[in-house]
Amino acid sequence: MFDPTAYENIKVVTEGDIYDRDLSGEIIVIDRNDWINAAKLSRKYEISFTKTGYEPNLLSAIMNIEAGLENLSAELLESVKAKQLAGCKVNISFSIHHKNEMVVFKEVHKGLEEIWGRDRVIVQTALLDPLGDKPTIKSHVQVSFNRLVYEEQIDDLSEMVDYMISSLEKIKKIIE
């Protein structure tokens, strides 16, 4: 019988948790993508959502789960050395449409540090039309963990979704 990889188990459990929250009306799933790169033997799953009542084009949260060839081979080879690679990368990000003011960037960074901790790498990227005169911009904020997530930590991903929802609530207060 086929034994699913850590990537597949983490993806299925996380997807189920997010869709349960969507069905309960807590959040609204906006988009979902499931990629397989046959040239590099890698997989990537992405799901985005927002809180019920929020405008999806103004504020959303995205979870990425990725596993490459080294992660798959580590599980299939089952050597002691390979076990440290038998997991996947999880990245959290937020898409925000807000005023083009430095104070907003600083408050978003501070708010996410309060929720996710100072150990996380938080990177903000702004997208704007340099020739436009709009007072608002779209930014992308990524929260990285700089480590693999293993199957044993699968329960932590539900807590991660809670943090994502708390982050949406905090960001909403900042950008209003």
Spell out the domain ranges in the chain: 6-175
pLDDT digits (tens, 9 = 90+) for 96-119: 999 999 999 999 999 999 999 998
Are 108 and 141 contacting, i.e. CB atoms less than 8 angstroms apart?
Answer: yes
Provide the pLDDT confidence category of residue 73 given band limits of 50, 70 and 90.
confident
What percentage of the chain carries pLDDT values higher than 70? Answer: 94
| Sign of the C-alpha dihedral computed for residues 100, 141, 121 and 108 taken in this order | positive
Are 46 and 32 contacting, i.e. CB atoms less than 8 angstroms apart?
Answer: yes
Provide the pLDDT confidence category of residue 3 given band limits of 50, 70 and 90.
low
8-state DSSP, 24:
H
Q: pTM of the predicted model, to two decimals?
A: 0.90
Provide the pLDDT confidence category of residue 82 given band limits of 50, 70 and 90.
low
The pLDDT score that the predictor gives to residue 26 is: 97
The pLDDT score that the predictor gives to residue 80 is: 60
Provide the pLDDT confidence category of residue 81 given band limits of 50, 70 and 90.
low
Residues in a beta bridge with 88: 149
What percentage of the chain carries pLDDT values higher than 90? Answer: 63
In whole angstroms, how far apart are CA 112 and each of 34, 71, 137? 27, 29, 19
Angle (CA) 154-144-29 rounded to 5° is: 65
Average pLDDT of the chain to the nearest whole number: 90
In whole angstroms, how far apart are CA 36 and each of 1, 42, 44, 104, 159? 22, 6, 7, 36, 27
H/E run at residue 176: none
